[in-house]
Amino acid sequence: MNEITQVAEENAATASRQYIRFHIGEHAFAFELGALQEIIRVPPIAHVPLSPPALKGLANYRGVVLPIIDLHHLLGVPHNSDSTSTRVLVLDLDKPAGFIVDHISGIFAADPHQIEEDTREANIDSSYLAGLIRQDNTALMLLSFNSILEKEFIAGDRQHAYQLSSNTFEATASAEIQDVRLVTFTAEGQEYAFYIEQVEEIIFLPKMLQIPNVESTVAGVIQLRERLLPVFHLRALLSLPHAQRTPENRIVIVPVQVEAEQRLVGLLVDSVKEILQLPHANLEQVPQFFGYDSPNAEITAICRIPEEDRLISVLSSEAMFGVQKIQALLQGLQDKSLADAEMVTATFHDEAQLVVFRLVDEELALPVDVVQEIVRVPELTKVPHAPEFIAGVFNYRGVVTPVVNQRRRLGLPSASDLESQRIMVLDVQGIKTGFMVDAITEVLRIPDAAFENPPDLFLSHMRMVNQIVHLGSDRMILMLDTEQLLNSVEFKALSKVAKKEKTR
């Protein structure tokens, strides 16, 4: 190394660098600006079930999943309620990560030789600090975000592969091949259903474009993923009285064959009720004297549930959405100069169908094919000496089925709205298990491109979450891993309850 090069490197090493000064509680900190991408207000945060308290949750940051870390918890500083000055430091630490701070107080320059390595006077865990900087008669603690990630998150991820291999439920082959699965919904107090294979999505009632001069069965047109879908009134199609729209209304999206094309249309229903899995023997033909013996009849079968004294009419989408109705609506769209907006064509490849549900304020999801049924919460029988997270058992198709109260399991407060609560029945390593959630909101068909893996740095701290779904710029759904819904200790307790109740 020549003398000129050596002098240049020494000057670079001692040149002033810029630092940002910020505060957490009463403590003043600093951080070198080099890794800072942006300072933002606290965005909407999706909280991750069973994650450590320091991981506040996930946010959608410019199309990237951004982990949000609460420094108050890590540093043992009391957390004040978020104020207008609260900010998130977005840092590039191989991948973006956000850190919540109480407020930013400025930017300053300091030379590296001003950094004091002795941090004993700081009342913060020294393993999180890179030193102290004296500035304006204040000893600023130089926070090492890399050390925070290494200690709190990355070290745990090194055991992630072992955790997954030693605590994974085996896939259970279904022996219920002869069963049918129905999505049930209501109109004028009556229950109707489609076979689940016929249902593309179930969505909230969006803004609807009214089309004048069309028949009364047409509710309007909606936009779904930048294309237009016609929506029909179920009540009108079944000659039932008209009703005002309510927050419980949903639109059931089904495919319909129109000439050589398969298109999607919507069906406006009063409310969506359940997903049922029943033996094929529960289906009966419609009595011929009802006038439904024609292959073009809207009702194709009657589903009987004797133990609940219920009858459900199974509808035929082909008969309900006849070719003439669809073509008339297409002509109406053309007359209104909307022909350039293509109708949705069916795209069944590279998509996944999800059941979306709510727990507290978070949107979570499971693949529709692992959810055997979704039922209202029945009267549960308490199990003596069972863990608190097991709410009780109920008789599910002749099988004593334990129910997991997800709020209790996750340490959340009890739900106030009991009417909307539902039980999702899953097969957990051969044991029929009900998982109680606050509400079922939608059944969505999501393109594969919308799925994203959780941030690598936090894999071991998101055991229940295996993918994240981006829907638009401000909506994010956490996809749960069905094999991680219970840990090994919880599963043993569940098995014990199921076995005990079965032998009674």
- What's the pLDDT score for residue 75? 86
Burial class (CB in 10 A: 0-12, 13-18, 19+), 414: exposed
70 and 140 housed in the same domain: yes
Facing residues of 277 across strands? 181
Please indicate, yes or no, if residue 432 is contained in any of the structural domains.
yes
Please indicate, yes or no, if residue 146 is contained in any of the structural domains.
yes
* CA separation for the pair 450, 350 (Å, rounded): 11
pLDDT in tens, the chain (504 residues): 444 344 344 444 445 788 999 999 888 999 888 888 899 998 888 888 777 788 888 888 877 788 899 988 888 888 766 678 899 999 988 778 899 999 998 888 888 788 888 877 777 888 888 888 887 778 888 888 888 888 777 655 444 433 333 333 333 334 444 788 899 999 988 899 999 888 988 988 888 877 777 778 888 888 876 677 889 999 988 888 888 888 889 999 998 877 777 788 899 999 988 888 888 888 988 765 444 444 446 888 889 887 777 889 999 887 887 656 666 665 555 444 344 444 433 344 467 889 999 998 889 999 988 898 888 888 899 988 888 899 999 988 788 899 999 888 888 888 877 888 999 999 888 888 999 999 888 888 888 888 888 877 666 667 788 888 887 767 889 999 888 888 888 888 888 887 776 656
**Domain end (from 158, 187, 206):** 158
- What's the pLDDT score for residue 436? 93
Helix, strand, coil in percent for the chain, rounding step 5: 20, 45, 35
Question: Do the bridges between strand 227-233 and strand 261-269 make them parallel or antiparallel, or are there none, so unpaired?
Answer: parallel
- Of the chain, the end-to-end C-alpha distance in Å amounts to 84
3-state secondary structure of 16: coil
369 and 401 housed in the same domain: yes
* CA separation for the pair 501, 504 (Å, rounded): 5
226 and 267 housed in the same domain: yes
Facing residues of 29 across strands? 22, 141
3-state secondary structure of 164: helix
277 and 392 housed in the same domain: no
299 and 358 housed in the same domain: no
DSSP 21: E
Q: What is the CATH number of the domain that holds 152?
A: 2.40.50.180
pTM: 0.67
φ, ψ of residue 175 to 5 degrees: the values are -100, 10
Rama region for 293: left / alpha / beta (φ>0; ψ in -120 to 50; rest): alpha
Q: What range does the domain containing 472 cover?
A: 351-502
* CA separation for the pair 177, 173 (Å, rounded): 10
Number of structural domains (the chain) is 3
Nearest by Cα to 95 from 452, 504, 345: 452
* CA separation for the pair 21, 133 (Å, rounded): 11
Per the CB < 8 A criterion, the answer to whether 17 and 115 are in contact is no
Instruction: Give the count of beta carbons closer than 10 Å to the beta carbon of residue 118.
Output: 9
Per the CB < 8 A criterion, the answer to whether 455 and 25 are in contact is no
380 and 323 housed in the same domain: no
- What's the pLDDT score for residue 356? 92
195 and 143 housed in the same domain: no
Per the CB < 8 A criterion, the answer to whether 408 and 388 are in contact is yes
Cβ-Cβ contacts under 8 Å for 90 (sequence gap 6 or more)? 36, 37, 38, 39, 40, 61, 66, 96, 97, 98
* CA separation for the pair 153, 147 (Å, rounded): 10
Cβ-Cβ contacts under 8 Å for 503 (sequence gap 6 or more)? none
331 and 183 housed in the same domain: yes
Please indicate, yes or no, if residue 4 is contained in any of the structural domains.
no
**Domain end (from 158, 190, 208):** 158
19 and 49 housed in the same domain: yes
Nearest by Cα to 259 from 330, 323, 318: 323
Please indicate, yes or no, if residue 218 is contained in any of the structural domains.
yes
Instruction: Give the count of beta carbons closer than 10 Å to the beta carbon of residue 19.
Output: 23
- What's the pLDDT score for residue 460? 64
374 and 318 housed in the same domain: no
Cβ-Cβ contacts under 8 Å for 407 (sequence gap 6 or more)? 359, 360, 413, 414, 415, 436, 438
34 and 127 housed in the same domain: yes
Instruction: Give the count of beta carbons closer than 10 Å to the beta carbon of residue 119.
Output: 18
CA angle 357, 407, 172 (to 5 degrees): 65
* CA separation for the pair 165, 435 (Å, rounded): 24
- What's the pLDDT score for residue 54? 85
8, containing H or E segment: helix 3-14
- What's the pLDDT score for residue 93? 82
**Domain end (from 281, 300, 335):** 335
* CA separation for the pair 368, 356 (Å, rounded): 9
241 and 304 housed in the same domain: yes
Facing residues of 30 across strands? 21, 142
CA angle 93, 99, 101 (to 5 degrees): 140
Question: Do the bridges between strand 271-279 and strand 179-187 make them parallel or antiparallel, or are there none, so unpaired?
Answer: antiparallel
- What's the pLDDT score for residue 461? 67
Residues 244-250: contacts with CB within 8 Å, 24+ apart?
A: 245/205, 246/270, 246/271, 249/205, 250/185, 250/202, 250/203, 250/204, 250/205, 250/442
